[in-house]
Chain A
Amino acid sequence: MSKFKKKSSASQDIPMAALPDIIFMLLFFFMVTTVLRESDILVAQKIPAASELNKLEKKSLVSYIYIGKPKKASLGTEPRVQLNDVLAQPNDIKLFVQQEKDKLTEVERDQITMALKVDRDVKMGIVVDVQQELKEVNARKILYSATKKIDMNR
């Protein structure tokens, strides 16, 4: 029976002194990478997938337009446009683009890129109306947001 009562002479403590350092490192990583979301998204956003993706060059030049079905059922099922924090009509876009352009410097104004975050169930009609408004205010660089498609063949 003495077999089981034998005591190991090795210390069984795990050194915990480095734990706060490790946690801090993780903390700093997440603090640096975090982008706090600036606006609540009020419309459904299931972004479609595509394989030929371009990256955005400069983030400060990008403004977002969200299109999708309202999340709140009381607002109906027709797709709506969201600018900043509010649901809007396509003809509000002109004012929105002007406001966004005013935030940029003179040189950058023509390079403004509108990122269209469109839900995959939306019909083309509303997307075209939005594009038409963008042409009117000469904000012609657009980007259809998409996620990376996983290619099975490669």
Chain B
Amino acid sequence: MGKSKNRRVDIPAASLADIAFLLLIFFLVTTTIASDKGIALLLPPKPDPNEPPPDITKNERNIFKVNVNSSDLILVENEPLKDITKIKGMVKEFVLNFGKQTQENQDLLNTLPNSQRNLVMTSGRKPHSSDSPTDAVVSFKTDRGTSYEIYLGILDEIMGAYDEIYGERVGITAEEFRNLDKREPAQKDIYQRARNGIPRNVSIAEPSKIGE
């Protein structure tokens, strides 16, 4: 109790900065900032061996075919194509085509915004292209020898085309559409409004076994 407290106790703090620096450099070197991004895909379920494969009753005009062979040469709708960045525009044009005039198609067309409707009115009535966005299917087939980079590049284009259609339909960008949080009711509503009547029919066929 009677002890005087006038004796100063000093901890030498000059080396503190050096120690912190060392730790800092350690963490700087070991850090890899996580970048977990990519193209999400849901694989189709395994075919049931007891059930025969379903009959294909789709008309040829409703299928947009993209084939890539083992030398990475691309065939889109039976025409060779060099530049894969063109696929996005072609898919968009194909999906937003109303070849058949029915009441259902007219109703779907009426839900589209003006910009998309005008496009359909001017160029989207081709009878040899898809009947309606609901019927349109994009078929993508590769070979076992196709390089993964080309595969992913084309898949990216096809998915991007759909995202742009959906985004434009509800007045947001494709990027904003992808980042919609489906757990939130308001955003889920936008998502469903964008998807309604235009399913993302992308069929990725089993690859052929020519070049490996």
**Chain A residues in the interface with B (C-beta under 8 A):** 16, 19-20, 23-24, 26-27, 30-31, 33-37, 48, 50-56, 59, 62, 113, 115, 118-125, 127-128, 131, 134-136, 138, 140-148
Contacts and interface: CB of A to CB of B under 8 A. Distances in A.
12 contacts: A33-B31, A33-B33, A48-B152, A50-B152, A51-B156, A52-B174, A62-B36, A123-B146, A135-B46, A141-B40, A146-B156, A147-B37
A113 B159 CA distance: 19
Contacts of A119: 148
Contacts of B20: 20, 23-24, 27
Contacts of B152: 48, 50, 144, 146
Contacts of B13: 20
B144 A125 contact: yes
A100 B17 CA distance: 43
Nearest to A16: B17
Interface in B98-157: 142-149, 151-153, 155-156
Most chain A CB neighbours (cut-off 10 Å) among B27, B174, B178: B27
A143 B41 CA distance: 6
Given A23-B20, A140-B42, A147-B35, A52 B163 contact: yes
Task: Categorize the interface residue count of chain B.
Answer: 35 or more
B207 A125 contact: yes
Nearest to B70: A123
Contacts of B31: 30, 33-35
Interface of B: 13, 16-17, 20-21, 23-24, 27-28, 30-46, 142-149, 151-153, 155-156, 159-160, 163, 174, 178-179, 206-207, 212
A56 B38 CA distance: 8
Nearest to B31: A34
Contacts of B206: 128
A123 to B, nearest CB: 5
Contacts of A24: 20
Given A123-B145, A128-B144, A142 B41 contact: yes
B151 A35 contact: no
